[in-house]
Amino acid sequence: MSGADRDILISRALDGEATPEDWSAFRAMADRDPAIWRELAEAQQDRAELAAAVAHAVAVADEVNAPIEQHLSERLTFRIRTVAAWSGWAIAAGLALAALVGPWQPRHGADAQNASLVPGLVRINSPQDALDAYYNRGQADGTVLGELPERIVLQTTPFENGVEVIYVRQIVERLRADDFYRLAYDEAGRPVPVRFEPTPRPTRAD
């Protein structure tokens, strides 16, 4: 039996993988060379010590979780930046929209004196009022379909007697375009847009 075979036999015995045939071969070898028993004992001690050291070193892994929230937050930041880059167009579109629908009146009898006023355009008392206007106009022209009931929580922080929650609202829109891009990352981890061909996908109702 070669040295390599001897090493494999000892290694199998250490790992609990030795078959009855392996043990027979081991005993036969030990009859000729009793030193193999000592070799096995030493190898067992090495194995136990190395396993303990490795287990201790990699135990830190139990503290490292998948950074889902950070990833979602990064994606959101990227999208906000993308929106900001197109804000010039958005403002122009907003002005055009206001010109079409006329001055917008606050709902629920809100005090017009407290309303923010964009001169000659719209009055808005709260973010919800602005969102309602967006929904109304979007649903009228078919570009806004609704909002998903699930909200994605990004961060929760204790706040006075309660909890402050930062979350994402998911609004479903319809878009018709010639080119589509998805978000990907290059080797350095930088976000890059990648053109792709969307495949027709049935609706949930289908």
Closer to other proteins at the Cβ: 107 or 169? Answer: 169
Stretch that binds other proteins, among 36-44, 115-123, 132-140, 159-167 (CB under 8 A): 36-44
Q: Which stretch binds other proteins (CB under 8 A): 40-48, 98-106, 125-133, 138-146?
A: 40-48
Which residues sit opposite 104 in a β-bridge? 122
The answer to whether 18 touches 12, Cβ cutoff 8 Å, is yes
CB of 179 to other proteins, least distance (A): 20
| Residue 92 or 184 with smaller CB distance to other proteins | 184
81, burial (CB in 10 Å: exposed 0-12, middle 13-18, buried 19+):
exposed
Select 2 or 157, whichever has its Cβ closest to other proteins: 2
Q: What is the smallest separation between the CB atom of 176 and other proteins, expressed in angstroms?
A: 24
- Quote the least distance from Cβ 163 to other proteins, whole Å: 19
> In which element (H, E) is residue 28 found?
helix 20-32
| Residues 116-155: x where in contact with other proteins by CB under 8 A, - otherwise, as a string | ----------------------------------------
Q: Least Å distance between CB 154 and other proteins?
A: 12
Please, which of residues 53-112 interact with other proteins by CB under 8 A?
A: 53-58, 60-68, 70-72
Name the token pair of 122: 């719209």
Task: Please state the separation of Cα 128 from the chain's center in Å.
Answer: 28
**C-alpha distance across the termini of the chain, in Å:** 67
Alpha-carbon gap, residue 142 to 162, rounded angstroms? 39
- What residues form DSSP beta bridges with 164? 157
- For residue 162, list its beta bridge partners: 159
Q: Please choose, out of 39-47, 80-88, 134-142, 161-169, the segment that lies near other proteins by the rule CB under 8 A.
A: 39-47
Determine, following the binding rule CB under 8 A, whether residue 4 of this chain makes contact with other proteins: yes
CA distance 18 to 24: 10
Q: Which of 22, 25, 47, 137 binds other proteins (CB under 8 A)?
A: 47
Q: Distance between CA 73 and CA 80 in Å, rounded?
A: 10
- Residues 170, 151: contact at Cβ < 8 Å? yes
Q: Using CB under 8 A as the criterion, which residues of the chain lie in contact with other proteins when the complex forms?
A: 2-4, 6-8, 10-12, 14-15, 17, 33, 35-36, 38-39, 41-43, 45-47, 49-58, 60-68, 70-72, 184-185, 189
